[in-house]
């Protein structure tokens, strides 16, 4: 036995003799998390994942719901700074307007991790890492599905209406951009109306009602930036006496259970997956950051596309 091994044996023996712990347990990591709100099924799954992962990992989570308001998020972040948490994580409701509060976190030496949505800041050192989906790619996937569908019926012009997510949010900006980029490849595909439904069912329904009332042009396709707005719009379409999924093709994003049920009922044509289960990855990343490790600046989640034809087979595998 070498000297080091003998010394640690002695230490163990003596601490056992005095009834002392061998090593004091490390203080639990404290994370302040500012959530966007509870606007959608996606968001509920995301919140549940973060809370469960914190519990599982022994992370003390200070959780604040911003009810879709940036000012509430700024207040929550300032309160996390005042409480001297070990790490701040947040899903920014909109992209811009974060420089000041993130500079305050940096001055207090508290690392910031972005989850789900990105920010637009002048100094990238204001956050350590961003875990989330590639929203531009999600928009492209939605557009590609439509291009393929349109190719089966080449002659026709398709009039598209769009339900955008929250104004100024990364997913709304990027999903619009990716979709437009792809459909630009086919001159028969045109977006005639585009308005925000704030990612909620109620607003999705309201805006779709207004689109339908305009009656100037037959609507062939609805592109909704999330499933909840699509589900709200489905109700509006039915109330207008039309068949969602048939009279109007419906494309949406998220891949929540509600979307799979709508596909099984023949009312939704396709959903592009956006994974909300970010909790476990976030806790692991937070530990690495607090331990001073160098981490990737961008961590992208892997996602698929689910057309209605595979809905019955996939539904039992869905975890959100």
- Closer CB to ligand GYE, 225 or 267, in the complex: 225
CA dihedral 135→173→48→31, nearest 10 degrees, is: 100
Q: Do residues 126 and 103 touch, judged by C-beta distance below 8 A?
A: yes
d(CA 163, CA 208) in angstroms, rounded, equals 8
Instruction: Out of 31, 39, 131, 211, point to the residue binding ligand GYE (CB under 6 A).
Output: 39
Instruction: Out of 57, 86, 162, 254, point to the residue binding ligand GYE (CB under 6 A).
Output: 254
Minimum gap (Å) between residue 169 Cβ and ligand GYE: 7
The one segment of 9-17, 36-44, 48-56, 240-248 that binds ligand GYE by CB under 6 A: 36-44
- Closer CB to ligand GYE, 80 or 199, in the complex: 199
Instruction: Out of 80, 127, 130, 199, point to the residue binding ligand GYE (CB under 6 A).
Output: 199
d(CA 311, CA 43) in angstroms, rounded, equals 21
d(CA 75, CA 24) in angstroms, rounded, equals 35
The one segment of 35-43, 71-79, 180-188, 294-302 that binds ligand GYE by CB under 6 A: 35-43
- Closer CB to ligand GYE, 29 or 173, in the complex: 173
Instruction: Out of 49, 72, 95, 117, point to the residue binding ligand GYE (CB under 6 A).
Output: 117
- Closer CB to ligand GYE, 114 or 158, in the complex: 114
- Residues 271-290, interacting with ligand GYE (CB under 6 A): 274
Does 139 contact ligand GYE by CB under 6 A?
A: no
- Closer CB to ligand GYE, 201 or 267, in the complex: 201
- Closer CB to ligand GYE, 81 or 253, in the complex: 253
Does 129 contact ligand GYE by CB under 6 A?
A: no
Give which of 189, 193, 265 is closest to 224, Cα–Cα. Answer: 193
Give the helix/strand (H/E) hosting 284: helix 279-290
At 172, list the tokens: 């709304």
- Residues 45-104, interacting with ligand GYE (CB under 6 A): none
# chain residues binding ligand GYE, by CB under 6 A? 13
Q: Residue-wise over 280-303: b if at least 16 C-beta within 10 A, else e?
A: ebbbebbbebeeeeebeeebebeb
How many CA atoms, within 13 angstroms, populate the side-chain half-sphere of residue 61? 25
d(CA 78, CA 170) in angstroms, rounded, equals 22
Minimum gap (Å) between residue 292 Cβ and ligand GYE: 29
Q: Residue-wise over 65-78: b if at least 16 C-beta within 10 A, else e?
A: bbebebebbbebbe
d(CA 137, CA 139) in angstroms, rounded, equals 5
**Residue pointed to by tokens 């806790």:** 283
- Closer CB to ligand GYE, 117 or 203, in the complex: 117
Instruction: Out of 116, 162, 174, 303, point to the residue binding ligand GYE (CB under 6 A).
Output: 116
Question: Angle formed by the axes of helices 257-264 and 227-239, to 10°?
Answer: 40
Does 201 contact ligand GYE by CB under 6 A?
A: no
**Residues at the site binding ligand GYE, with contacts judged by CB under 6 A:** 39-40, 42-43, 116-117, 171, 199, 226, 228, 253-254, 274
């Amino acid at each position: 036995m070498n000297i080091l091994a003998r010394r640690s044996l002695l230490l163990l023996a003596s601490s056992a003799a005095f009834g002392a712990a061998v090593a004091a347990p490390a203080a639990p990591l404290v994370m302040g998390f500012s959530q966007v709100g509870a606007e959608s099924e996606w968001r509920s799954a995301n919140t549940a994942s973060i809370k469960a992962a914190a519990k599982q990992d022994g992370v003390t989570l200070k959780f604040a719901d911003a009810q879709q308001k940036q000012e509430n998020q700024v207040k929550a972040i300032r309160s996390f700074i005042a409480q001297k948490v070990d790490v701040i994580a947040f899903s920014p409701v909109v992209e811009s307007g974060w420089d000041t509060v993130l500079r305050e976190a940096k001055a207090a030496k508290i690392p910031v991790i972005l989850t789900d949505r990105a920010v637009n800041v002048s100094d990238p050192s204001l956050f350590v890492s961003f875990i989330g989906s590639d929203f531009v790619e999600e928009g492209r996937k939605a557009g590609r599905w439509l291009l393929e569908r349109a190719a089966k019926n080449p002659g026709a012009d398709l009039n598209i209406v769009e339900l955008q997510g929250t104004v100024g949010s990364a997913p709304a900006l990027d999903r619009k951009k990716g979709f437009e980029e792809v459909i630009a490849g086919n001159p028969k595909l045109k977006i005639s109306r585009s308005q925000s439904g704030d990612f909620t069912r109620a607003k999705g329904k309201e805006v779709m009602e207004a689109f339908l009332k305009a009656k100037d042009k037959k609507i062939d396709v609805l592109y909704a930036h999330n499933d909840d707005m699509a589900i709200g719009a489905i109700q509006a379409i039915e109330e207008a006496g039309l068949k969602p999924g048939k009279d109007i093709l419906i494309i949406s994003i998220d891949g929540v259970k509600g979307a799979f049920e709508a596909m099984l009922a023949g009312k939704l044509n396709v959903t592009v997956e956006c994974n909300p289960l970010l909790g476990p990855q976030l806790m692991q990343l937070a530990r690495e950051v607090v331990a001073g490790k160098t981490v990737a600046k961008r961590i992208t989640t892997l996602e698929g596309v689910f057309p209605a034809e595979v809905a019955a087979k996939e539904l039992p595998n869905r975890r959100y």
